[in-house]
Amino acid sequence: MITPFSEVVNPRLCCEDETPVDPRTMSQWPVSVSLAVVGLLVLASVPLVSGQRGFGVSGDTSPYKGYSGIRARPEAKRLIYYHEQTIAVVEVGPNRELFNCELIEVYKPGELKTALRNMSEFAKPYRLGF
């Protein structure tokens, strides 16, 4: 049987003066202060986390996004074409059907070399000329 707090014979005591404390009427400032501190810590860590990069060239803040690696069809053949600062990863079916084309824009010559080297693991890059 649950007894209401108002009928409890010996309520919880606090501090030296043994004043009865009702937890329903206690102020909630310690919880709100701790939530505010946690919020400030999260906001302070955002610049640290945003500097980390995923697949691609690490160590600088260039907008190179890298290849996602997502395949439209597993049986499709992947072809890589590049021209100047654009790389196209194309998925083609057996009857020359186009299943997917992902364009990657690079802004530095070093990024182009690194990206092509990484992508040459699964297909040979072909240079396009116009």
Indicate if the pLDDT at residue 58 is higher than 60.
no
Q: Describe the chain by its helix, strand, coil percentages, rounded to 5.
A: 30, 20, 50
Summarize the confidence of residues 103-111 as an average pLDDT: 85
Indicate if the pLDDT at residue 117 is higher than 80.
yes
Whether 82 maps to a domain, the answer reads no
Whether 22 maps to a domain, the answer reads yes
**Res 127: pLDDT:** 92
Whether 1 maps to a domain, the answer reads no
Domain count, the chain: 1
Helices (H) and strands (E) in the chain, counts: 2, 6
User: Helix or strand or coil: residue 29?
Assistant: helix
Q: What is the DSSP string of 48-103?
A: HHHT---SS--SS-----------S-TTSEEEEEEETTEEEEEEE-TTS-EEEEEE
Highest mean pLDDT out of 11-15, 34-38, 53-57, 105-109: 105-109
Neighbours of 51 (CB within 10 A): 8
Whether 43 maps to a domain, the answer reads yes
CA distance 129 to 68: 25
**Res 15: pLDDT:** 53
The model's pLDDT over 2-52, given as tens digits with 9 standing for 90+, comes to: 656 555 555 555 555 556 656 566 555 555 556 666 666 666 666 655 554
Res. 74 pLDDT band, cuts 50 70 90:
confident
Domain range enclosing 38: 11-50
**Res 28: pLDDT:** 54
**Res 45: pLDDT:** 64
Whether 89 maps to a domain, the answer reads no
Indicate if the pLDDT at residue 121 is higher than 60.
yes
Whether 34 maps to a domain, the answer reads yes
**Res 106: pLDDT:** 87
Whether 2 maps to a domain, the answer reads no
Indicate if the pLDDT at residue 124 is higher than 80.
yes
- Asked whether the CA dihedral 116, 119, 120, 124 is positive or negative, the reply is negative
